[in-house]
Amino acid sequence: MEVFERVFWAFGPCIDGFKHCMPVICIDGTHLYGKYKGTLLVATSVDANFQVFPLAFAVVEGENTSSWSWFLGCIRVHVTQRDGLCVISDRHPGIIAAMNDPNVGFTEPRAYHSFCVRHIASNLKTHVRSNDMRDMFKAAAYQRQKRKLQVDMCFIGEACTKAMEYIVQVPFTMWSLFHDAGRIYGICTTNFSETFNSVLKGARFLPIMSLVELTFHKVNRYFTLRRESSEAMSAQGLAYPPPKVTVILEKNTAKARYHKVDAYNRRLHIYQVITERGERLGSKGGHKHTVNFQLRTCACNKPKIFHLPCSHVLAVCVTYSLSERPWVDPVLQSEAYMNTYAPQFWRIPCETTWTQ
């Protein structure tokens, strides 16, 4: 007697569209209910508008080293051969083991592993029974400058030795935005995959074939709506997809009005930007940041982490009539958004129309 064990599926348009998404994959698992037990594994990415991008699915017997290794291996074989990917997950032992297995295809430098900050913070709260420690850890995790991270870590160490002992067991590179080197584009949680899991919440009671078909129809609709949005964007001639990227750039441009720019080497495009208090509520001002246009760096570290120009870079652009476009990662531009959702789904043929 044949017994169902596992099934993996990924749709062609998702495979093609992922080539234009951020090199980030969020993975998560959720239990199936009803007559058919098991676990639904979901892999998602993030598009140019910082929205969830459905990538691959699987139904397995449960979350363990074998199932996660198989799922990630299927993604590597059937979905993407991109190098430099960053996989964001919780700290499930099965995921950690799979990511460290060279045979699966996600070991460094082909891929990197990052832990969901929200999961670590939640586990820390349970470990030390303190909401304050949870919040202090999250604040430290999101720091973009070394000095500020060190200050936050000192506060945690002074407030709770037990919390510090728990935190330092996890490498900084796997949860600290400052240590990330720009691999996760500022995305520090698995919220994207969990969001798509919630979309499929009602499907967890369905038979396997019905579950697969439901994901097909939902992902097709998802593509159709965003394809129409990208076409409207193209008609307007927008360089960046609204609202997320556009809002970030507009916000940074507004801040740039209060910055003072001094050129230190026009030939090498090295500038110093001094922030001023201006009219912004809570603004301190007086900070100095070095902007290097050749190396695409700013002392604030934001362009490296978020792949978008910070207010200091935009202040230089305005002062010297330079374009901010080279500072915007290609995967965050409108062309990438259009290419992501350009692939077409085709309807599933009725059984009576199938050819032998």
Which three-class secondary structure state does DSSP give residue 242? coil
Summarised one tens digit per residue, pLDDT across range 205-257 is: 788 888 999 999 999 999 999 999 999 988 999 999 888 999 999 999 999 99
At residue 2, the pLDDT reads 66
Q: Which amino acid is at 277?
A: R
At residue 246, the pLDDT reads 94
At residue 356, the pLDDT reads 41
Residues of the chain predicted below pLDDT 50: 353-356
DSSP strand pairing (288-292 vs 39-46): unpaired
Q: Which amino acid is at 121?
A: A
At residue 33, the pLDDT reads 82
At residue 280, the pLDDT reads 52
Cis peptide before 242 (omega within 30 of 0): no
Angle at 22 between CA 18 and CA 25, to 5 degrees: 75
Q: What is the pTM of this model?
A: 0.91
At residue 350, the pLDDT reads 61
Which sequence spans correspond to the domains of the chain? 1-115+189-239, 117-186, 244-327
At residue 279, the pLDDT reads 56
Cβ burial, residue 281 (10 Å; 0-12/13-18/19+): exposed
Architecture of domain 1-115+189-239: 2-Layer Sandwich (3.30)
HSE (CB half, 13 Å, CA atoms) of 304? Answer: 15
Phi–psi pair at 247, nearest 5 degrees: -65, -40
At residue 206, the pLDDT reads 84
Handedness of CA 137, 139, 141, 147 (dihedral sign): negative
Please, which residues have CB within 8 angstroms of residue 29's CB and are 6 or more apart in sequence? Answer: 39, 40, 41, 42, 63, 92
